[in-house]
A and B are shown apart, each in its own frame.
Chain A
Amino acid sequence: MSGELKVVGKPVPLRDAKEKVGGSARYSADIRLDGMLHAKILGSPYPHAKIKKIDISQAEKIGGVVEILTYKNTAGLTYASVEHKPMCVLEQQVRYVGEPVAVVAAETEEIAEEALGAIKVDYEELPAVFDPVEGAKPNAPKLYPEGNLAGPVPGGPLIEKWGDIDKAFREADVVVEGMFKTPVQPVTPIEPRTCVASWDGKELSAWVSTQFPHRVKEDLAKVLGLRFSKIRVISHFVGGGFGGKKQEEYPLMAALLSVRTNRPVKLEYSREEETIVGRRRYSSVENIKLAAKKDGTITAINFETYYDVGAHGNFVGGSLGLLVSEFYMYKFEDAIFKVYDVNTNLPTAQPFRGVQFPAYLFGLEQLVDQIAEKLGMNPIEIRLKNTYKTGDKMKPYGATLSSFPVEECLAKGVKASGFRESWKGWGKPVRAENDKRRGIGMAYNMGWTGWMEQYATATVKIYPDATAELITGAQDLGTGSNTTLSQVAAEELGLPLDNVKLTTANTGLTTEDWGSCGSRTLYSAGKAIIGAARKAKEALINTACLRLNAAKEDVEFRDGVIYVKGKRILLSEVIKEPVSGAYKNPTPKMVAPLYNAVYVGGPLLHVAEVEVDMETGEITVLRYTAVQDVGKAINPLVVEGQMYGGAIQGLGYSLKEELLFEKDSGKPLNPDFLDYKIYNFQDAPNVQVIMIESNEPTGPFGAMGVGEHCINPVAGAVANAVYNAIGVRLYEIPMTPERVLKALGKI
């Protein structure tokens, strides 16, 4: 089949690249409207407090101040955020340092800034808690009247279990366990979140940096008391989402200010606000224990974790993972997963690329290696022995695993990384010279795609001049999906890519979509697009049959032309107006709530080779290999870009990134790029990416999403490489020089 493909599989440059390299791409902050006001946020200085009194009278007197929002004049305005807990636009109780307490709209940014200083707030400080394990205790300071546990089970953890865990551990030949800690990692896209809202007296237009335009539309409708049809959320260019830019407070603040002032309003986060008020990955404390038999069969897992979901976070991004995805990648016969989602007085956590799996694999993959070491198996052997394979029924729900070329994935990863040549065996570093120790390690993972595939729709129109329009609500969050989705449409229609116009990123014009997250965009929207294109073609053929008085089997639409028994007829002679097709994906068969009967997601193997300086504790990644089954690379350039990005972002998570807070005050210590270090050009090592194309039977042209899970194995692979180098395991990321030296007992 692949031999026939003309557009799919081709390394087509991004269709909007010219705008991006030329400076004409308009991101939300680039929108400038006549009479636009500028909004600024006043943040709480306390991690947990109740506002006793807020006095805005002096601020209101400053010339050029037009409107001020506080909890008082926004009372009762809540939105259903992605965290699933109704959240207030502004609240009387603040739960983290920096939480907005007032928003000023003024003629200029300077005036708005000045007004912030004139707002007087009296706070009643409340006791605060910053640690999820502490926060889960019954006597901990409470953020909410019902307590700090924010999972779906009131007052307790979410538990998923099967088999007989006690028996499994009793009868195990090998037991390994560890407590693993992972940090607060803010999303820190280079584009700070921005909204420009413009109310014209009848309708609201809001330019928002979001992955979830249709859901932001719903939030705006709720908060403003407007009908959906009165709101347009526009999001043509998003400067990097990574899971972080979903449903939040800033578009609601800007829109409220615009409606109340009858003026356009811009609210642009500063870098500090982006880091603190913008979303971040939960931190976690994971206790993981595995049981295995002498032959290397891993029989059981005992997983107990505390996710710090911050001030307003909920189980989305924490325990929800137990209900939906890849925790169960090895064939555990017996298992217990117990997860506490804990509110703390830290910034709000939300799913961020990979969600909880980068942390999970940091622990799990180190323990798998420990079993292998105890049994004298090599790291490849133990993973192959315990992984699910194509067609397996997976515990706990009995889902069937779709195409899963795990042997090919491991073989290619081993070959490309030179693992066999470098690996000298357990307890033996790749090389030891002076103060330098070199090590190699791997981590394995199972991907996942198709989350909420039923909430993907598309409309395809075919015009008489043999061009087409693809209309979809699927949002490009900076990954390049606008290009890949257009390729899918072009391929299915048999038209050149240039003949397909894409209409997207404007909820006033596009079809509904869940939002771009969880590697669902290409897989889900791609299927909807194929469905819509087929319907449009069918409408075209039916019209042609009628107008040309031909039998259906004699009519063909190929290369933009109608053929009747081989005779070529221009479309313009067949249709005078566009024909169209609309499609919504059906709900897949489920085996459990939120769990599809067919599990779709390919294998990944990451191999890291590192050098550790025993004197300084510094870890240098010398070589990094990422292998991933992508199903079919609709656009290899885009897929490679995602794989590079996942690996490099993951290396930052593993080695450098950690948002720190002052111990008692909860004040963020490093909320900017000077002190919060993401990977730069010089940090990025030699990364090699290898795609496997297993042609996923359920995917559009065999494709699966790739962007989410390509970050998952990184911390595990690096940690295993570090262990191979220095013979000591690290249980906390980022693996800073200080932590390495501590692990070595040198400090």
Chain B
Amino acid sequence: MDNYESVINIVVNGIMHTIDVKNNWTLLKVLRDQLGLTGTKCGCDKGQCGACTVLLNGKPVLSCLTLAVAANEQEITTIEGLAVGGNLHPLQESFIEHHALQCGFCTPGMIMSAKALLDENPHPSEEEITHSLRGNLCRCGSYPKVVQAIQDTAKKMGARK
């Protein structure tokens, strides 16, 4: 079964890739091993920690639970795709400024979840933030500062509009 292969077309961070994949490969594996996009992290490989969160057509998914073939003909955004023209995304800026990261391993997944949240709800309450990100685990315990960073980003992005 795992020898069955497919060819998929995926747009990752705006670039189209045509890739041979095995049908049982996860999107996480393809991003990391086939495309070398190692910013997306593997913390558990079973959908329990959130470190592998990416956006699939703008919606957050756990790339370790998403089969690569299921992403065929779709658009994926990873942490490497957030900065535009060398300028960090406001969320990335805010995480830095608020010290919303320590070891940094869960950070890419956190930022992708936060981006999905703000795209849908530009002014989330604290409860909406903690509810939305409850699947992103951080052993360093940076949660309070992540909440601050997201709230501050929302404020700044709102002001910019």
Chain A 589-636 interface residues, beta-carbon cutoff 8 Å to B: none
Residues in A with CB closer than 8 Å to B39 are 22-25
Looking at B4-12, B44-52, B65-73, the stretch in contact with chain A turns out to be B44-52
Q: Which of B45, B136, B144, B145 has the most CB of A within 10 A?
A: B144
What are 17 pairs between A and B in contact, CB < 8 Å?
A: A20-B101, A22-B79, A22-B80, A29-B41, A30-B38, A190-B139, A191-B105, A239-B41, A268-B42, A478-B104, A478-B105, A479-B103, A641-B142, A672-B46, A678-B137, A681-B130, A681-B134
The answer to whether A411 has its CB under 8 Å from any CB of chain B is no
Q: Which 8 A-B pairs have CB atoms at the shortest separation, nearest pair first?
A: A23-B39, A478-B103, A239-B105, A20-B104, A648-B141, A645-B141, A23-B79, A673-B48
CA separation between A651 and B40, bound complex, in Å?
28
**Contact A27 B134, CB 8 Å, known A17-B95, A648-B143:** no
Interface size on A, residues (CB 8 A): 59
**Pick the contact of B139 from A17, A25, A189, A237 — CB < 8 Å?**
A189
Q: Which of A26, A27, A191, A678 has the most CB of B within 10 A?
A: A191
Are B49 and A673 in contact, CB atoms less than 8 angstroms apart? yes
The answer to whether A13 has its CB under 8 Å from any CB of chain B is yes
**Contact A682 B130, CB 8 Å, known A14-B99, A32-B36:** yes
Are A672 and B48 in contact, CB atoms less than 8 angstroms apart? yes
Residues in B with CB closer than 8 Å to A638 are 99
Are B99 and A684 in contact, CB atoms less than 8 angstroms apart? no
In the complex, how many angstroms separate the beta carbon of B53 from the nearest chain A beta carbon?
Answer: 12
**Pick the contact of B137 from A20, A241, A478, A673 — CB < 8 Å?**
A673
Chain A 180-237 interface residues, beta-carbon cutoff 8 Å to B: 187-192, 237
Are A23 and B40 in contact, CB atoms less than 8 angstroms apart? yes
In the complex, how many angstroms separate the beta carbon of B72 from the nearest chain A beta carbon?
Answer: 21
In the complex, how many angstroms separate the beta carbon of A367 from the nearest chain B beta carbon?
Answer: 28
CA separation between A663 and B38, bound complex, in Å?
40
Are B141 and A684 in contact, CB atoms less than 8 angstroms apart? yes
**Pick the contact of A20 from B42, B107, B141 — CB < 8 Å?**
B107
Chain A 477-492 interface residues, beta-carbon cutoff 8 Å to B: 477-480
The answer to whether A332 has its CB under 8 Å from any CB of chain B is no
CA separation between A188 and B134, bound complex, in Å?
17
**Pick the contact of A478 from B32, B78, B102 — CB < 8 Å?**
B102
**Pick the contact of A644 from B96, B136, B145 — CB < 8 Å?**
B145
Residue of B nearest to A643 (CB): B141
In the complex, how many angstroms separate the beta carbon of A134 from the nearest chain B beta carbon?
Answer: 32
The answer to whether A451 has its CB under 8 Å from any CB of chain B is no
Residues in B with CB closer than 8 Å to A673 are 44, 48-49, 137
CA separation between A27 and B49, bound complex, in Å?
17
The answer to whether B92 has its CB under 8 Å from any CB of chain A is yes
The answer to whether A271 has its CB under 8 Å from any CB of chain B is yes
Are A640 and B99 in contact, CB atoms less than 8 angstroms apart? yes
Residues in B with CB closer than 8 Å to A189 are 103, 105, 139
The answer to whether B27 has its CB under 8 Å from any CB of chain A is no
CA separation between A29 and B42, bound complex, in Å?
9
Are A681 and B97 in contact, CB atoms less than 8 angstroms apart? no
Are A240 and B139 in contact, CB atoms less than 8 angstroms apart? yes
**Pick the contact of B43 from A16, A17, A241, A271 — CB < 8 Å?**
A271
CA separation between A646 and B41, bound complex, in Å?
24
Are B103 and A191 in contact, CB atoms less than 8 angstroms apart? yes
The answer to whether A747 has its CB under 8 Å from any CB of chain B is no
Chain A 264-282 interface residues, beta-carbon cutoff 8 Å to B: 268, 270-271
Residues in A with CB closer than 8 Å to B141 are 644-649, 679, 684
In the complex, how many angstroms separate the beta carbon of A265 from the nearest chain B beta carbon?
Answer: 15
**Pick the contact of A687 from B42, B51, B129, B144 — CB < 8 Å?**
B144
In the complex, how many angstroms separate the beta carbon of B3 from the nearest chain A beta carbon?
Answer: 9
Residues in B with CB closer than 8 Å to A13 are 96-97, 99
Q: Mark A311-340, 1 if CB is under 8 A from B, else 0.
A: 000000000000000000000000000000
**Pick the contact of A190 from B36, B45, B138 — CB < 8 Å?**
B138
Residues in B with CB closer than 8 Å to A24 are 39, 80
CA separation between A21 and B81, bound complex, in Å?
11
The answer to whether A674 has its CB under 8 Å from any CB of chain B is yes
Residues in B with CB closer than 8 Å to A240 are 102-103, 105, 139-140
Chain B 75-117 interface residues, beta-carbon cutoff 8 Å to A: 78-80, 82-83, 88, 92, 95-97, 99, 101-108, 111
Q: Mark A1-45, 1 if CB is under 8 A from B, else 0.
A: 000000000010110111111111111011010000000000000
Q: Which of B33, B43, B83 has the most CB of A within 10 A?
A: B43
CA separation between A679 and B142, bound complex, in Å?
11
Are B143 and A684 in contact, CB atoms less than 8 angstroms apart? yes
The answer to whether A372 has its CB under 8 Å from any CB of chain B is no
Residues in B with CB closer than 8 Å to A641 are 99, 102, 140, 142, 145
Residue of A nearest to B111 (CB): A21
**Pick the contact of B134 from A191, A237, A644, A682 — CB < 8 Å?**
A682
Residues in B with CB closer than 8 Å to A649 are 139, 141
In the complex, how many angstroms separate the beta carbon of B14 from the nearest chain A beta carbon?
Answer: 15
CA separation between A640 and B129, bound complex, in Å?
21
**Apart from A16-B104, A271-B44, A684-B144: 9 A-B pairs, beta carbons within 8 A:** A17-B95, A17-B104, A24-B39, A237-B104, A478-B105, A673-B49, A680-B135, A681-B133, A681-B146
Residues in B with CB closer than 8 Å to A32 are 33, 36, 38
CA separation between A585 and B88, bound complex, in Å?
41
Are B96 and A21 in contact, CB atoms less than 8 angstroms apart? yes
Are B43 and A191 in contact, CB atoms less than 8 angstroms apart? yes
Residues in A with CB closer than 8 Å to B33 are 32
Are A26 and B106 in contact, CB atoms less than 8 angstroms apart? no
CA separation between A640 and B45, bound complex, in Å?
31
**Contact A26 B38, CB 8 Å, known A190-B49, A645-B141:** yes
**Contact A23 B95, CB 8 Å, known A240-B105, A240-B140, A648-B143:** no
Are B88 and A21 in contact, CB atoms less than 8 angstroms apart? yes
Residue of A nearest to B135 (CB): A680
CA separation between A17 and B92, bound complex, in Å?
9
Residues in A with CB closer than 8 Å to B136 are 680-681
**Contact A27 B105, CB 8 Å, known A32-B38, A190-B41, A682-B130:** yes
The answer to whether B19 has its CB under 8 Å from any CB of chain A is no
Are A190 and B78 in contact, CB atoms less than 8 angstroms apart? no
Residues in B with CB closer than 8 Å to A14 are 96, 99, 101
Residue of B nearest to A32 (CB): B36
Are A22 and B83 in contact, CB atoms less than 8 angstroms apart? yes
Residue of A nearest to B108 (CB): A23
Residue of B nearest to A110 (CB): B2
Q: Which of A23, A29, A241, A647 has the most CB of B within 10 A?
A: A23
In the complex, how many angstroms separate the beta carbon of B24 from the nearest chain A beta carbon?
Answer: 9
Residues in A with CB closer than 8 Å to B118 are none
Residue of A nearest to B91 (CB): A21
CA separation between A192 and B99, bound complex, in Å?
23
Residue of A nearest to B92 (CB): A21
Are A190 and B38 in contact, CB atoms less than 8 angstroms apart? no
CA separation between A20 and B145, bound complex, in Å?
15
Are A17 and B101 in contact, CB atoms less than 8 angstroms apart? yes
